[in-house]
Amino acid sequence: MTPTIKDVAAYAGFSIATVSRAINAPHTVNPVTLEKVRQAINALGFRPSPLGRQLRGERTRLIGVVLPTLANPVFAECLQGIDELAAAEGYRLMLMTTQYDADRERHAIETLRAQRVEGLILTVADADTHPLLDELDQAGLTYVLMHNDTVRRPSVSVDNRQAAYDGVRTLIAHGHRRILMLAGTLAASDRARLRYAGYSQAMQQAGLEPAPALEIDFNADELVPSVLAHLAHGASRPTALFCSNDLLAMVVMRGLRRAQLDIPRDMSILGFDGLAMGELLSPPLASVSAPNREIGCAAWRRLVAYLDGTYADASLSQTLPHRIREGATIAAIPDASGGRFMNTIRTPA
């Protein structure tokens, strides 16, 4: 069985944090401790080559960042937060994107490891069951996840299920009963799956039947005709759409306008992410808002604290607050008596 950093820590008699610091930042560890960690690594055969060089005192001050795409401003906002702090602290960043593709994720991580990065900040398809992250755990390479909502690994995110639940409750409070969720491929995003779970919970608690998510290509900039026809026509078409991200909501809004539907009179739209550009639309996009730049900053602070051995919080995951951003893309619909539904469900400020 391949030895892990936990095995090295147990053998040497130190904490995992101390061993990680000896591997990734040997200049911060006293020589006696460093020698004991070195002896444990040699005895157990724990020898990832890039980290072995670091144990001899060489530092790259290079941090790898792996993101699905920069076409979605969510990740660009996170990267901005990381870059500002990294520059201030004398680190360099090496960025790779994966386009939500598992093979590209592996290539990106292997490439960055070969470049001797001291740590990684990344967003992956599935944080809980990801073999590449298991390999990083075994190798002892320090990493922090962004937007991946998991308690099993070091991560910074919003509570995606709760945030989606709060957003859908907002739609229900405006009288909507036929609510459909649109998402990218659920298999490619644990975040989308958690948001669908929140949508389903809100619908069921309101006595409504959740519909299967309508899955759309992450990278599509147009709705295909069959999807547009499904949304725009028929007596049972939804009255409200919950989109798993703001970019998808914008694509949907453009498609519905081309189908001669008015937003929000004919259909209400709720996005997820809180992109600033959404407020520039006409009408301004309502959205479940996440603090994207701060997620990047928090991930950076945590990674550096791990590398320096100063991180004291025992929890692996850090959850930042979300809020519901009001917009003009949600309208109340009439009840059976011809009145208007009142917003009787409290939502976050």
For 309-338, the DSSP string reads T------SEEE---EEEP-TT----B-TTS
**How far is residue 294's CA from residue 271's CA, in Å, rounded to a whole number?**
19
- CATH architecture classification, 1-59: Orthogonal Bundle (1.10)
The pTM of the whole model exceeds 0.85:
no
Helices (H) and strands (E) in the chain, counts: 12, 12
Residue 29 C-beta-side C-alpha neighbours within 13 Å: 27
Q: Where in the chain is the domain with CATH 3.40.50.2300?
A: 160-290
For 160-290, which CATH superfamily applies? Answer: Response regulator (3.40.50.2300)
Through-space distance between the first and last CA atoms of the chain, rounded to whole angstroms = 51
In the predicted model, what is the mean pLDDT of residues 322-343? 73
H or E stretch at 164: helix 160-173
Cα 93 off chain centre by: 19
**pLDDT tens digits along 281-296:** 999 999 999 999 999 9
Which residues, listed in sequence order, are joined to residue 340 by a DSSP beta bridge? 334
**pLDDT tens digits along 30-62:** 888 888 988 998 888 885 545 444 554 567 899
Residue predicted with more confidence, 139 or 88: 88
Tokens coding 127: 């944080």
**How far is residue 107's CA from residue 99's CA, in Å, rounded to a whole number?**
12
Q: Where in the chain is the domain with CATH 1.10.260.40?
A: 1-59
User: 92-97 and 142-146 as β-strands: parallel, antiparallel, unpaired?
Assistant: unpaired
User: 62-67 and 119-122 as β-strands: parallel, antiparallel, unpaired?
Assistant: parallel
pLDDT for position 343: 38
**pLDDT tens digits along 167-225:** 999 999 999 999 999 998 898 889 999 999 999 999 999 999 999 999 998 778 889 99
Q: Check whether the bond before 264 is cis (ω within 30° of 0).
A: yes
pLDDT exceeds cutoff 80 at 336: no
pLDDT exceeds cutoff 70 at 314: yes
pLDDT for position 2: 75
Q: What are the Cα distances from residue 279, in Å, to 90, 163, 239? A: 35, 19, 22
* Three-class DSSP category at 40: helix
pLDDT for position 148: 94
Contact 173, 343 (CB under 8 A): yes
* Three-class DSSP category at 27: helix
Read off the pLDDT band of 28 (50, 70, 90).
low
Which residues, listed in sequence order, are joined to residue 121 by a DSSP beta bridge? 65, 144
Read out DSSP for 67-124? ES-SSSHHHHHHHHHHHHHHHHTT-EEEEEE-TT-HHHHHHHHHHHHHTT-SEEEE--
